[in-house]
Amino acid sequence: MGDKEFYQLRDLILKSGNDSVKKAQEKSLKKGIPNVYSKNGTLYYELPNGEITSKIPLVYLENSMPSGMSIS
């Protein structure tokens, strides 16, 4: 495989992956599940209404806490 073919294949794989991630993110938002991003070690959440926040959304807190535990 030559350099040109390698780069074309790489670009095709990257485009396919990026398209799949974008579709998954859109699907999550439609279901009310925020998307999570990290920048410089800080987590940010894209809420279904388009807001970006660093506060953990309730949907994640409600589904991840062991029974009997709560956030103060």
Distance of CA 29 to the CA centre of its chain: 10
Strands (DSSP E) contained in the chain are 35-39, 42-46, 52-53
Q: Which two tokens stand for residue 37?
A: 């991003």
Q: Which residues of 13-25 are buried (b: 16+ CB within 10 A; e: fewer)?
A: eeeeeeeeeeeeb
Residue that is written with structure tokens 């309730």 in the block: 58
More confident residue, 11 or 68: 11
Q: What is the pLDDT of residue 65?
A: 57
pLDDT tens digit sequence for 8-64: 999 999 999 999 999 999 999 999 999 999 999 999 999 999 999 999 999 888 766
- Say whether pTM exceeds 0.85: no
